[in-house]
Amino acid sequence: MTGKDQQTTLNEPVLISDVPDGAEAFLAADIAMETAKPLVFVARDDKRLARAASLFKFRLPEAEIVRFPAWDCLPYDRVSPKADLIATRLATLARLIRPATQDRPRIVVTGINALMQRVPHPDFIRGLSLALRPGQEIGFEDVQARLVNLGFQRVSTVTEPGEFAPRGGILDFFPAGRSTPVRLDFFGDEIESVRAFDPLTQRTDQPINGVVLGPVHEFVLNEASIERFRTEYREAFGRVKGEDPLYESVSAGRLYAGLDHWLPLLHEKMALLTDYVQGAELVFEPDVAAAKDARLETISDFYTARQSVFEAEKTDHSYKPITPERLYATETDWNAFPDQHRCWQLTNFSVPSSAEVALARHAYRSLPTFADARQDPERNIYTAVRDRSDKALGEGQSVVIAGLSAGSANRLASNLGEAGMEGIKPLRGWHEALDAQSEDRRVFNAVLPLERGFEGGGFALFTEQDILGERIVRPRKRRKSDNFLTEVSGLATGDLVVHVEHGIGRYVGLLTIDLSGAAHDVLHIEYSGGDKLYLPVENIEVLSRFGDGEGVGLDKLGGAAWQARKARVKERITRVARDLMRIAAERKLRKSEIIDVPESVLEEFSQTFPYSETDDQLNAIEDVIEDLASGRPMDRLVCGDVGFGKTEVAIRAAFVGAMAGHQVAIVAPTTLLARQHFKTFQDRFKDLNIRIAQLSRLVNAKDASATKEALERGEIDIVIGTHALLAESLTFGNLGLLVIDEEQRFGVRQKERLKKLKETVHVLTLTATPIPRTLQLALTGVKDLSLIATPPIDRLAVRTFIMPWDGVILREALMREQFRGGQSYVVCPRVKDLGTMRERLQNIAPELKVAVAHGQMPPGELEDVMNAFYDRKFDILLSTNIIESGIDIPTVNTMIIYRADMFGLAALYQLRGRVGRSKLRGYAYLSFDGRRKLTADAQRRLDVMKTLDSLGAGFTLASHDLDIRGAGNLVGEEQTGHIKEVGIELYQQMLEEAVAEVQLANELGVDPSTGELRQKPDDDWVPVLNTGIAVYIPEDYVEALDVRLGLYRRVGMLREVSEIDSFVAEVEDRFGPPPEPVLNLLKTVEFKIKARAARVEKLDVGPKGIVVGFREDKFAKPDKLISWIRANSQVMSIRPDQRLVFKRKIETDDERKKAIVSLLDNLKKLAA
C-alpha cells in the first residue's frame, strides 16, 4: 500500500478500487507487512481460497499462513464434511489460540462460507489440547484414553486422520492438521521418541520435537456433551416418542452421519472465526458481499425445505433442522465486523475520488494480453512477449513469466529463449524479483496459479494464459505407492485359492498347530470331499488368488484332474506364447514408411492442448512418435483407466500422420463413440488445413458415398467411423495410420479385416482394460505397450455421498447441476424401477426434462435417446447401468444411483467414472432405502466406494482384483476359458514363464514350433523345511488378522537375504522389537533361500541330526559332494533313498539354526 486518501475510524471500511484480477493476495500481503495485527483474507469461493493461499506463500514466504476452509457439504445435509477437511479446520483453530511468532505476519486465508459459519468456542479447543514430546512422563493407557475421548478411532493400521493403533509399547496416531501420522515409542510411562511416519509404507521418517493432540471432530461425545445434546434436542423438537436414529445414536455415544449439522446442541457456546483473531485486519475479495447474500439465501432455502417436510411428517424419523442463526452467522453478525476489525474491501472497478468513502491507493495495474499477436499469422507470439519484456526491463522493472505448472513454465522459458529472450532464471523467492540492486538481467519464470498478468511495485508479470490463451491446469499430486496395498490385500475367509501343486481350494483361516514339537502358523485350505491342507506360512507364495469363483468346483486333494488341467492349459499357453513371439519377430523384420514431422511443428500443435499432460501421457506420446519414425510397422497398445487421456495420444499420432501426408483412420466400436471422437478431432484441428470426415450410420447415404470416394482419391486426411471403415469395399488412397478404440469390442469379421490392415500400416490400439504388472511384464518384448496410470492434472476427484434417499438433497443436487449448465444421470438397478423413479423425479424436480434409456429398448430408439441427451435436449438421463461403459459426455457431472446397495463394487466404480470427466467436480450420490437394513456386504461395498474417491483408484482396484473379461482381451478370445481353469494369478504366472521359455528357445536356436528346449528353467519349486522351531507372528505382536496375513504374504515374496534384513528393520520400526517366533519365521525364509541355491528340496531336523533330500535326487557337483562326505564320514552318510544324513546332537533352537545354516552354506559352496 502506498498511502490512503482519507483516514478512517475502526468502523469505516476502506475501499481499494481498480484491483487487477490476481493482485488481491499481493495487496493483502502489503497490508500484512504494514500492521502488527493478524490478517484474515476472505475469498468468495474455495477455488479462489486455494489460489490466494498459494500466492501468499510465494509473496510472503516468511509469514505464518493458515487455511480455514468451509464444510464441503450442503446446509442441513445428511452427510458430514470430509475428515481431512475437518482436520485442517481444527488444526487452524488450534494454531490461532496460540500466540503468533514475533516479527512473523499471521495470515488466515478463508472463504465467505467458512466466515459465515459458527465454530466451537476457543475454550473448547484450548481445553482439549494436549502436547506430547520426547521425555514426557505420561501413561501409555492415559494417552490411549485421551485419543478415544477426542474421537480417534482404533484401527489395526493407521492410514487416515483420526485413527490410532496401539502395539506393545508403540502408539501410532494421525492427528488433525498433520500431513503424516505420528509414532510414539514408550519406555514404561515415559515417551522415549516421537517420530513421523509414512502412512503408505508405515516406515518412520524423522524424529520430531513433539505433537499437539486435539479433537478429531468439531465436537466430542462425552458424558457432558451427550446430556447437553439430549436436553437441547428435546427443547427444540419436543419429546422423543418413537425411534429417532439421531437421538438414539448420540445417546449411546455413537457417531451419526451428518451429526455436524446439529453442532450447537453439543456445545455450551459457539463462536465465529473472527473470535480467534480479535482485532485482526479483514480483507474482502471483490464480490464477497454478493457471495455472502447468496450463501444466506441458500441456508434459508434449505432450512425452509427441511422444516416444511418435518412439519408435514411430524415423525421421529424426519430430519429435524435447527434454526439457521444457531449454526450460521446472520446479517447482524456481518454488519458488526467493522466495529471489531478494520475492514478492507477490494473491487475490480473504478470508484470516483469524489465518492463519500475511504479510499486507499495502490500501484498494481492490469496488463493487456497477447491476443492481438496470437490472432496475427504474421507475428510470432514469443517474439511479441520478448519485445514487451525488453520494454519493461528498460523501464527498470523485473519481468516474471508465470506458468500454471512446472512443465509449462519451463516450456515457456525454452520457447522464449529460442525467440531471443535470454537469461530467464527460475524465481526462487519474490524478494529476488524486487532486488533492484542486482546486476543480473532480472527475467524470471515461476509457477503461479494466475490466469491474468499485472504490473506494480517494480515488476511486470505475464501469465501463460496471457501468452497462449485459455489453458486450465491443476497442481500435480504425489502418486501413492502400491507397496502398502500389497500388505493389506490379505486373503479373506472363504476366498478361492489356487495351490500350484494341488489346485483350487477354499481358504478357511489361519491356524497355529504343533509342527515337530513347535508352534507353527499354517493356512488351512479345504478341498473337495472335506480334504484339508495345512500350508506353512513361509510357503505362502505357492498360493494365488483364483479370482471370480462363481460356479467353480474344488479340486480333489491328491487327485490327477488338477495336474492334467494345468498341463492342458500350459500347452495352450505355450502355443499362444509361440504365436506372440512369431508375430513380434515378423513385425521386427517388416519395413514401413517413416512418418515424421519436425519437432517444432509438433511442439506448436502440442501447445494447443488445453490441459497439462501427465507424465504417463507424455511417455505414451513419445513412444508412439518414436514408433512412427522407426521405419517398422507400429503395433502399440495404449492402456489406461477411463478418462485418463488416451484420446490425446491418438490425436498427436493422427497429427503426425496427417502432416506427413498420410491418411489416418480412427475406428470406434459404437456410433456414439465415433461421433464423440469426430467432434473432438474437429475441435483440435480447427485451425489447421487438415480435412476430417465421419463415416457411420449417423451420416446419410449421399454424404457417406462422397466420403468413400474422397478417401479413395486421398482427399481426406483423417476419417473417423465405426466398423464401416473396415468394409472390404472401402479403399484408401494412402493409409498410413490406423487407430483402434477398444479392439476387443469388434466382431470376428472385423478383426480379420484388422489383421490384414495391420500387415501394411501403423496401428495404435487404445483400451481402458487395466493390465496388472505381471501380465505387462509377460508381454514385454512381445507387444509394445504404454500404460497411462495417472489421471489428467485438471481432473478433480468425484465427491461421493452415501445416504438414504432424500428428495430435498437430491433435488438440490439436480438443480445445482442445471444451474451450472450441466446434466445429470439417475441410475436404477432394474428396468422395472424406471417408471416409479420417473414419477419421483417429476415430483421433486418438475422443471427438469427426463429421458429414459435401458437395454431392452430397440437399438434405434436407444440411439435416438442418447443422441438427444448428448445434444442437451434433456436435463436428466434416467437409465439402468447401460451407461456404465457408455461415452464421455463432459457436461454430465452429477449422478444419482438409486438402491446403490444392489450394485456390485466394480459396477459402482464404473458408473461413478461417468461423471467428473471435465474440469468441473463431479458429484455421485449413492442412495439406499433408509427403511431397510443394509446387508454387511452391501455396507462394505458402499464404504469402499467412499474411501476410493482418489483419482486412479479404479486402476489400483483392478490391478488387485482383475476382472476375467479384461485379461482375456490381450492374448486372444480363447484365453478366457483357460483363466477360469487355473485362476487369474496362476494364469499370468504361467504365461510369463511360457514367454520366457520361448524367448530362451529362440536365443538357443531351437525351433519354437517343436517346443524342444535344450534347457528349461527349473524355478517352480519350493523347499520343504521341517526345522522344529516355532514359526509364527504372535497375535499380541500384530493384533489384526488381515495385517498378519499381509505380512506373511510379503515374507513369501522375499528372495534375497538383504531383503530379509530390510524387512526385519521395517517390522521392528512398526511394531517394536520382534519376538522369537517372528525372528524364526524370517530365519526360515533365509533357510529357504539357501536351500534353493543348494538344490535342497527337503530338510528334516531332529534331536539326532538333519536329513537332506536333493531336487530330483541330483546334485550339481556330485564328485565334490562325495569327497566332502568321505572327509566327514564320522557324521555324514548317504542313505539308499539318496538322502544325505548329517548326524549331530541338537538340543536347543539356537543349535538347530546354527546346524542348518552351516550345512546349507557348505552345500551351496559345493554346488557353485
pLDDT of residue 640 exceeding 90, the answer is no
pLDDT band of 547, cuts 50, 70, 90? low
Question: What is the pLDDT, as a whole number, of residue 336?
Answer: 92
Higher local confidence (pLDDT), 367 or 570: 367
Residue 437 CA from chain centroid, whole number: 47
Question: What is the pLDDT, as a whole number, of residue 308?
Answer: 83
Give the rounded percent of residues in the chain with a pLDDT score beyond 90.
24
Q: What's the average model confidence in pLDDT over 734-755?
A: 70
Ranking 125-134, 885-894, 964-973, 1126-1135 by mean pLDDT, the lowest is 964-973
Tens-place pLDDT, residues 1022-1036 = 888 888 888 888 888
Higher local confidence (pLDDT), 439 or 808: 808
Give the β-pairing of 923-928 and 1024-1026.
Answer: unpaired
pLDDT band of 967, cuts 50, 70, 90? very low
pLDDT band of 989, cuts 50, 70, 90? low
Question: What is the pLDDT, as a whole number, of residue 979?
Answer: 54
Tens-place pLDDT, residues 504-531 = 898 888 888 887 778 888 888 998 888 8
Tens-place pLDDT, residues 222-265 = 899 999 999 999 998 888 877 788 888 899 888 887 899 999 99
User: Average model confidence (pLDDT) for the chain?
Assistant: 81
**For residues 554 and 528, is the Cβ–Cβ distance under 8 A?**
yes
Question: What is the pLDDT, as a whole number, of residue 20?
Answer: 92
Instruction: Give the H/E segment covering residue 617.
Output: helix 615-628
Distance between CA atoms of residues 1053 and 1058, nearest Å: 13
Higher local confidence (pLDDT), 585 or 120: 120
Distance between CA atoms of residues 268 and 702, nearest Å: 77
Strand intervals (E) in 169-234: 170-173, 182-187, 190-197, 204-207, 211-213
Question: What is the pLDDT, as a whole number, of residue 349?
Answer: 84
pLDDT band of 787, cuts 50, 70, 90? confident
Instruction: Give the H/E segment covering residue 811.
Output: helix 807-819
pLDDT of residue 976 exceeding 50, the answer is no
pLDDT of residue 987 exceeding 70, the answer is no
How many helices (DSSP H) and strands (DSSP E) are in the chain? 39, 46
Higher local confidence (pLDDT), 787 or 805: 805
Tens-place pLDDT, residues 265-287 = 999 999 999 999 998 999 999 99
Question: What is the pLDDT, as a whole number, of residue 5?
Answer: 43
How many CA atoms within 13 Å lie on the side-chain side of 1046? 18
Q: What's the average model confidence in pLDDT over 1116-1143?
A: 87
Question: What is the pLDDT, as a whole number, of residue 956?
Answer: 41
pLDDT band of 484, cuts 50, 70, 90? very low
pLDDT of residue 406 exceeding 90, the answer is no
pLDDT band of 479, cuts 50, 70, 90? very low
pLDDT of residue 982 exceeding 70, the answer is no
pLDDT of residue 485 exceeding 50, the answer is no
Ranking 345-359, 824-838, 1065-1079 by mean pLDDT, the lowest is 345-359
Going by the DSSP 8-state scheme, the letter that residue 56 receives in this structure is H
Higher local confidence (pLDDT), 1009 or 664: 664
Burial of 1148 from C-beta contacts in 10 A (0-12 / 13-18 / 19+): exposed
pLDDT of residue 489 exceeding 60, the answer is no
Question: What is the pLDDT, as a whole number, of residue 198?
Answer: 86
Q: What's the average model confidence in pLDDT over 1101-1116?
A: 87
Question: What is the pLDDT, as a whole number, of residue 386?
Answer: 92
For helices 381-394 and 406-418, give the axis angle rounded to 10 degrees: 90
pLDDT of residue 598 exceeding 80, the answer is yes
> Cα-flanking dihedrals φ and ψ of residue 647, to 5°?
-60, -35
In the chain, the domains with their CATH numbers are 14-123+221-358 (3.40.50.11180), 130-213 (3.30.2060.10), 365-468 (3.40.50), 583-788 (3.40.50.300), 799-950 (3.40.50.300), 1024-1167 (3.90.1150.50)
Q: Quickly list DSSP for 253-311.
A: T---TTGGGGGGGG-S-EE-GGGGSTT-EEEEPTTHHHHHHHHHHHHHHHHHHHHHHHH
Q: What's the average model confidence in pLDDT over 1066-1075?
A: 82
Cell numbers for 168: 506393545
Of 448, 348, 346, 471, which Cα lies nearest the Cα of 402? 448
Beta bridge partners of 605: none
Residue 923 carries which side chain, given as an amino acid letter?
A: Y
pLDDT of residue 838 exceeding 90, the answer is yes
Q: What's the average model confidence in pLDDT over 617-641?
A: 86
pTM more than 0.75: no
